[in-house]
Amino acid sequence: MKSRMNSPHPGRPVKANVLSVNGVLLLTVLALATVAATTQAATTNQAYYKLGEAGSYNADNANSPLDATANAYNFSNVNSHGAGIDTTTHAPVSTSTASFHFTEQPSGYYQSGGFTLSSTANYGVEVWFKAASADLNQTARWIFGTGLDGDTTGGLGIYLESGNIRGIAPGVNYVGVAPVVADQWTEAAIVTIDNQGIFFYVNGNLVLQDPNHVASTPSTLWNLATNYNGTSSFTGWLDEARVFTWTGSFNPATDLNIPEPAMLTCVLLGAGSLLLRRRRQTR
């Protein structure tokens, strides 16, 4: 007769320590609750340019970008009549299907007058960009922002400088610097947070916090792929450019236009792996 010394109750098999379906469901609910809890700020796009997509630009005016919000901050001034500005199907995020490719200099768009924000305490600018290796060493190239380099009218901007991306608060300070990888879409954002200073992010990661400065009153000037005076034109791809404000606590993981981490997927995969492993141990 075989002994059942490993069982506390002879004649009864040892109960397998298997993660139940209810346990997996509980993990799923907890993951959903965690994802929901990370959304802390209520963001509002004050100007949003979905570059290259149908209806996002004025084909009768050198493809000048149109604002997707009701504020209608449309670009109408075109640098050098829009030379070398093409639409492409290269896009950085799943919510986009196209982008603008700036192939020659000078090019780009700028505008003045009437640009106002609902909040001067919490606001920022954000853009996705890509540059080929031959274009990485462009010097002092405006990508997107409000304000004028060297002016004191305020604003925030994103700047390409000799292979590095920089945040800039015109009339205040440069904020942060990070290297750019050629031929790769990169997200950049610079924000000013009430009583905390200016923050510069690249791909959702904080590059630098400047607690000693705050951005000046938002400028009535705004520009894309060029400085306001038509100089410092950028060569490369741009998409998903926006100026935004928010209320509540700013969270770059959820309030910037970057792909969200697949937290729920990771939890489910982990739970499934644990379930499979424990079942194998009981065989």
127-155 per-position pLDDT tens digit: 999 999 888 888 888 899 886 655 555 67
Here the tokens at position 184 are 């790769």
**Does 27 have pLDDT greater than 60?**
no
Alpha-carbon distance values, 110 to 14, 103, 184, 186, 192 (Å): 74, 17, 25, 22, 22
**Does 240 have pLDDT greater than 50?**
yes
31-45, 68-82, 240-254: which range is least confident on average? 31-45
More confident residue, 255 or 268: 255
From the list 188, 155, 187, the residue with the least C-alpha distance to 169 is: 155
Tell me what pLDDT residue 139 has: 81
From the list 253, 247, 129, the residue with the least C-alpha distance to 188 is: 129
User: Mean pLDDT score of the chain, rounded to an integer?
Assistant: 76
From the list 126, 143, 109, 125, the residue with the least C-alpha distance to 234 is: 143
pLDDT-based confidence at 107, cuts 50/70/90? confident
3-state secondary structure of 253: helix
Here the tokens at position 271 are 């739970």
Q: Where are the beta strands (DSSP E) in 221-277?
A: 221-224, 236-248
The CATH label, of 3.30.43.10, 3.30.420.40, 3.90.1150.10, 2.60.120.200, for the domain at 41-255 is: 2.60.120.200
What's the rounded Cα separation, in Å, for the pair 18 and 6? 18
What's the rounded Cα separation, in Å, for the pair 16 and 12? 12
Tell me what pLDDT residue 281 has: 52
Q: Are 238 and 127 in contact (CB under 8 A)?
A: yes
For 255-275, what is the mean pLDDT? 54
State the number of CA atoms in the 13 A half-sphere of 198 facing the CB: 27
User: pLDDT above 70 covers what percent of the chain?
Assistant: 67
What's the rounded Cα separation, in Å, for the pair 67 and 71? 7
pLDDT-based confidence at 85, cuts 50/70/90? confident
Other Cβ atoms closer than 10 A to 239:
28
**Backbone region of residue 258 per phi and psi (left: phi > 0; alpha: psi in -120 to 50; beta: other values):** beta
Question: Which span out of 29-33, 56-60, 250-254 was modeled with the highest average pLDDT?
Answer: 250-254
